[in-house]
């Protein structure tokens, strides 16, 4: 498998932790070095690697042992989480242009030879299979062979190709092509563009002009998965100059080391939407980060274990939280944790719908509840660690509330409201605990 090196490097890290009872600053050092080396050897760029290792370290050192889970397995979980964080945890579909009556326009950009024209044909077939009508536009006026190639691919997947030869300007061709697509009421238009061997100003200027002419819903950067360290500067340039909505990673069937796959989203904030896995037109797949992480970490059985570990972590956190509630130690950190637990189970609305008697709750009420929770989160995140631990600091000091209001973009009144609500909730918890303790007292036992 092409991720063998990366997988192997990670494995070294886990192996170093065998027999260890708990992750510590000391014993995590060597494994982290292995992780760092593995990522660098996979051609992940240095800033991305640094950030990755730092995040894993801070999680690993600050975590207590979970029953039934070994420290090495725990480290696998943290690495898995960070990998997912790098690539986005969910698959990212194409943008949905809600401009009614307008075709969905996908602009393809990328250097020469990366598989851009091939990707146009593949994407055309993909969209056709979804029952959409598709048209492609050939704007590479520098290489007649490129136009021929797109025309041939179009014949293969039975999709018309609009072209005006090599003497018109790319932006004009693109504009005319879109007009034609509109006239024919085509659902999707894929615009192939000229690539260069290297990034240069002329190419970017032309891309900008074509983009302006076609107003795409998606601008996809086609990246060769075998691109090494330079992937990050490449992605950065294209994203800064023309703005992308995502990427297609090609040649994933080849001997890639994986770096580009881990770099795109971190550098551009935009996800990989598809991967090319062969030369045939069928060889295009939606990008599933989860599957990719499984491939990288190998070990399906360990991942199952990790998943169980995650459940057990959640369970322990819930128990811990409950204990703190009972002991009336509940603070803003706990509040935030509770919120995160709830959101990890899906949007608030879905949860509320599942509760008995909540069936008739309106969408508007649910949105309002969601908004309130998000606001509370923003407010808490603007508090200092000390304030989060001592909610009473806020009840007594207006200047603190004012600072938090500014920091979180809310009014002072909104901050005060949250503090009042929080205090009321905590008092209620204390009362409940007292009642329960009374209930367990000797008088109630007969």
Binding site for ligand GDP (CB under 6 A): 110, 112-118, 195, 250-251, 253-254, 276-279, 283
The conformation of residue 136, written as its DSSP 8-state character, comes to: E
> How is residue 159 annotated by DSSP?
-
Tokens describing residue 117: 């024209």
Give whichever of 251 and 257 is closer to ligand GDP, judged by the CB atom. 251
Shortest distance, position 130 Cβ to ligand GDP, whole Å: 20
Q: d(Cα 110, Cα 196) in Å, to the nearest integer? A: 8
How is residue 96 written in tokens? 């949905």
Closest separation in Å from C-beta 300 to ligand GDP: 25
Q: How far is the CB of 280 from ligand GDP (least distance, A)?
A: 9
116, 140, 143, 156, 196 from 149: Cα distances, Å: 11, 11, 10, 11, 16
Nearer to ligand GDP, 35 or 111 (CB): 111
Which is closer to ligand GDP, CB of 119 or CB of 186?
Answer: 119
Phi, psi of 220 (to 5 degrees): -105, 125
Beta-sheet strands, E only, within 246-360: 246-250, 272-276, 284-286
Residue number, 23 or 174, with CB nearest to ligand GDP:
174
Q: Which is nearer to ligand GDP, 252 or 262 (CB)?
A: 252
Using CB positions, name the residue nearest to ligand GDP.
276
* Least Å from the CB of residue 110 to ligand GDP: 6
Closest approach of ligand GDP to the CB of residue 276, in Å: 3
- The residue (of 112 and 338) whose beta carbon lies closer to ligand GDP is 112
For the bound state, the minimum distance from the C-beta of residue 119 to ligand GDP, rounded and expressed in Å, comes to 6
How far CA 150 is from CA of 190, 210, 440, in Å, comes to: 11, 18, 78
CB of 118 to ligand GDP, least distance (A): 3
Beta bridge partners of 183: none
CA 105/CA 178 separation, integer angstroms: 8
Edge-to-edge, what's the strand order for the sheet holding 104-109? 161-162, 134-138, 188-192, 104-109, 218-224, 246-250, 272-276, 284-286
Q: Which is nearer to ligand GDP, 254 or 398 (CB)?
A: 254
């Amino acid at each position: 498998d092409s991720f063998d090196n990366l997988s192997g490097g990670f494995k070294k890290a886990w192996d170093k932790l065998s027999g260890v009872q708990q992750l510590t600053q000391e014993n995590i050092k060597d494994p982290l070095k292995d992780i760092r080396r593995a990522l660098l050897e996979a051609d992940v760029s240095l800033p991305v690697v640094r950030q990755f290792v730092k995040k894993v370290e801070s999680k690993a050192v600050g975590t207590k042992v979970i029953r039934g889970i070994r420290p090495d397995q725990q480290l696998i979980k943290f690495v898995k989480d960070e990998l997912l964080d790098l690539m986005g945890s969910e698959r990212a579909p194409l943008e949905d242009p809600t401009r009614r009556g307008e075709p969905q326009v996908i602009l393809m950009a990328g250097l020469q030879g990366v598989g851009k024209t091939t990707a146009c044909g593949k994407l055309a077939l993909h969209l056709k299979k979804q029952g959409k009508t598709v048209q492609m536009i050939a704007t590479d006026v520098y290489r007649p062979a490129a136009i021929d190639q797109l025309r041939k691919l179009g014949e293969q997947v039975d999709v018309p190709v609009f072209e005006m030869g090599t003497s018109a300007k790319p932006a004009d061709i693109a504009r005319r092509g879109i007009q034609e697509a509109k006239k024919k009421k085509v659902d999707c238009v894929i615009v192939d563009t000229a690539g260069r061997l290297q990034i240069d100003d002329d190419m970017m200027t032309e891309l900008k002009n074509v983009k302006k002419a076609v107003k795409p819903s998606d601008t996809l950067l086609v990246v060769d998965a075998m691109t090494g360290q330079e992937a990050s500067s490449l992605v950065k340039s294209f994203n800064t100059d023309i703005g992308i909505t995502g990427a297609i990673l090609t040649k994933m069937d080849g001997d890639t080391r994986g770096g580009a796959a881990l770099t795109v989203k971190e550098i551009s904030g935009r996800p990989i939407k598809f991967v090319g896995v062969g030369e045939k037109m069928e060889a295009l797949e939606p990008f599933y980060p989860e599957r990719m992480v499984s491939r990288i970490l190998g070990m399906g059985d360990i991942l199952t274990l990790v998943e169980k570990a995650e459940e057990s972590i959640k369970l322990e956190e819930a128990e811990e939280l409950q204990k703190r509630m009972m002991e009336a130690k509940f603070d803003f950190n706990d509040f935030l944790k509770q919120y995160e637990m709830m959101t990890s189970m899906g949007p608030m609305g879905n949860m509320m719908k599942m509760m008995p008697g909540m069936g008739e709750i309106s969408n508007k009420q649910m949105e309002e509840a969601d908004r309130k929770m998000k606001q509370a989160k923003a407010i808490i995140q603007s508090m200092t660690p000390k304030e989060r631990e001592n909610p009473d600091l806020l009840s007594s000091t207006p200047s603190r509330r004012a600072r938090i209001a500014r920091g979180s973009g809310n009014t002072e009144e909104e901050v005060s409201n949250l503090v009042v609500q929080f205090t009321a909730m905590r008092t209620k918890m204390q009362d409940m605990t007292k009642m329960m303790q009374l209930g367990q007292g000797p008088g109630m036992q007969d």
